Amino acid sequence: MSGIDEGLLKVFLEEVDELTTDLEEALMELDDNREDTDLINRIFRSLHTIKGSSGMYGFDNLSKFLHNIETIYDKIRNAELKVNKNLIDITLKAKDFVRELVSNNDQYDQGKFNNIIQSFKSFAGEEDTPKSEKPKNIDSAVKENKESPKNIFRIRFKPSQNIFFTGTNPISLIDELKHLGESYIFAYNKDLPSPEYFDPEKCYIYWDILLLTDKKINDIKDVFIFVEDESDIKIDLIEDESEIPDFSDADTRKLGEILVEKGDITYDDLNSIFSYKKKIGEELIEKGLVSGSNIKSALLEQELVKKQKEIKKETLTTSSVRVSSDKLDKLVDLVGELVIAQTRLEQLANNLGNSKLNNITEEIERLSLDLRQTTLGIRMVQIGSSFGKFRRIVRDLSSEMGKKVEFITIGEETELDKTVIEKLNNPLVHILRNSIDHGIEPPEDRISKGKSEKGKVILKAEHSGGNVIITISDDGKGINVDKVIEKAEKLNLISTKNISKDEALYLIFHPGLSTAEKITNVSGRGVGMDVVRQDISSLRGEVKISSEQGKGTSIKIILPLTLAIIEGLIFKIKDNSFIIPLSFINECIEYRRVEYLNKYKGNFVDIRGKLIPFVVFRDYFKIQGERPDIEQIIIVSLGDEIIGLAVDEIIGQQQIVIKNLGSIFKNIRAISGAAIQGDGTMALIVDISGLISEVKSLNMLDETVS
């Protein structure tokens, strides 16, 4: 590699990293959909691209290695070989070996090289069954489309039976739709009467049209403008070209859902066939609920939507620019310094009272805000980019332990700061390992308990205010609280068994505590969950756990969207300044204590007829001095929890650059960081999640009104 420019070599290494990550994701998906030609083509393209680039950069051994594998996948593309679990296994090993070759500058273990190649050759010799094909009418309809994304409209055109009397030919209207884009037409004759009642001057046919077009819905309505009053016309936009797609499997509509949406069947019809073992389409046709054309139309709709999502994904990928993460980090640091300087300038302008300077300050504030949002937006990455590696971990671990596990991901499109995602990898790996090792039971145990032999592990990401909540749940055996308490007693972690279930569950985060009966290479040493808590705390996050024995466990991780710059509300207690992230705040109200003294016993405030408990911030931090007669109450929320914070004075809203506190402050749960104000003084940033947990544990929050 000595003759290659270091900059070019770095680009190659980054490209291989991206392509192997995509290869692993595609293999995981192919394991669930082994006849998906799009996935097979995607895998082939990744292998072919890495092979071509490796030859250019002098990685000859890598090129030779991939040539053998590429040949196998070319045969699969041509339906000469069939995908099975063995192929997925050895291709995943090959992917790991590719990364090993690249990291070792094309040097490799000859024995490992030969074993993997021989595995592929054995596969090719064993598998000579032609690959089953999709229905030709579906494959031929969904063409390779490398153009820009299109809108997909579903149109149900049911003309009046007397349409011919108006001089209108419905076929002409359908032909007019064809000129708007690529169309697929299905005709239905279920309303056709028996011959003795047939009237040749009436129209008994109606149509479903799937239209791929860059036109808008009004352009389609214009086609039917003269027949809309007498005809039954329904136009649905089922895929929007401008919408950022959700690439998760959860976003793909099922066949039954499409048929219900179209009005071909009802939910009762759908539920009536769930107990049958045949495919849903076959069963619906057999029961006479739909025709073959209804099924073909729905299947084609699935394929078209899927294809458009892939085109969008390719468009988003090819339009991106690769930038070093170091440069992004430097840019964020500079923007942070700019925000601090802008805050100082704003305060100076206010003190001087110069209108011209104020105008310039406002313009700089607007520009710095736009720059901040753009810069932080660049750092935001879809969390789904890391889900692929977790699918591999679940697959390998469940196979190794002889368990059957269905891994479900939800919310892959949820965006989170790149730095947070990178540091989130280890905690999620630990939790997933525990879910499979400790949670999911072996198939025979699950069947004996009346469960499905295949367990479920769900990884879900969602936004909540200024946070992202990541939930890992399973339907396994749950946590045995009595066993946890017993183990904690042996380790002298508790002095009494008289503790609540929630307190007992949180003991599993203590180092050295494990309920595993034996130590394995996966878990059992009581280290994993302690690492999870430490890693999440370093991200200014929080871990919550709930479990029900026999039903499963759910672990919720609450994280800030970004670790850099946020919008905050500054308030004061005496001479001390504090900041609450704006995303947690619902509203602020004035509180006159004298008006509430005789109303309620306890700290409550009436918000439009609803009593909200509040905590006096001064009391929590034990700040000396008398409370003012008129206080400000800041109403904050986290998920379903809403509380108020009584403070002395609200200063105003401001962009703040988050600065980490030293290790000496790490045990203060209600404070997550600090910020430099315009006058150079420091303000502490309130951790709402930690504060709510703390005031509850200290019984500082009134729960009942008396």
Question: What's the DSSP call for residue 194?
Answer: P
Phi first, then psi: give them for residue 498, nearest 5 degrees.
-85, 70
Q: Which amino acid belongs to residue 330?
A: K
61 has catalytic annotation:
no
Contacts for 110-116: CB closer than 8 Å, 24+ residues apart: 113/61, 113/65, 116/65, 116/90
474 has which bridge partners?
A: 457, 553
Dump the DSSP string for 379-442.
Answer: HEEEGGGGHHHHHHHHHHHHHHTT-EEEEEEE-TT-EEEHHHHHHHHHHHHHHHHHIIIIISPP
Tell me how crowded residue 366 is: count the other CB atoms within 10 A of its CB: 10
Catalytic residue among 18, 35, 48, 649: 48
- Out of 301, 365, 415, 434, pick the active-site residue: 434
Whose CA is closest to 239, among 248, 251, 255, 250? 251
Determine contact, residues 568/687, Cβ cutoff 8 Å: no
Helix, strand or coil, per DSSP, at residue 542: strand
Structure tokens, 177: 């739709």
Radius of gyration of the chain (CA): 31
Residue 68 a catalytic site member: no
Question: Which among 570, 574, 616 has a CA at the least distance from the CA of 591?
Answer: 616
* 606-613, Cβ contacts within 8 angstroms, sequence gap of 24 or more: 607/635, 611/705, 612/642, 612/643, 612/644, 613/643, 613/644, 613/701, 613/702, 613/703
DSSP character at residue 165: G
Q: Is the dihedral of CA 164, 169, 173, 178 positive or negative?
A: positive
DSSP H or E stretch at residue 456: strand 454-464
CA distance 164 to 200: 10
Sheet with 565-573, strands from edge to edge, namely 649-657, 565-573, 576-581, 682-686, 671-676
Is 426 one of the catalytic residues?
no
Q: How many CB atoms lie within 10 A of CB 549?
A: 13
- Catalytic residue from among 70, 239, 301, 346: 70
Active site residues: 48, 70, 434
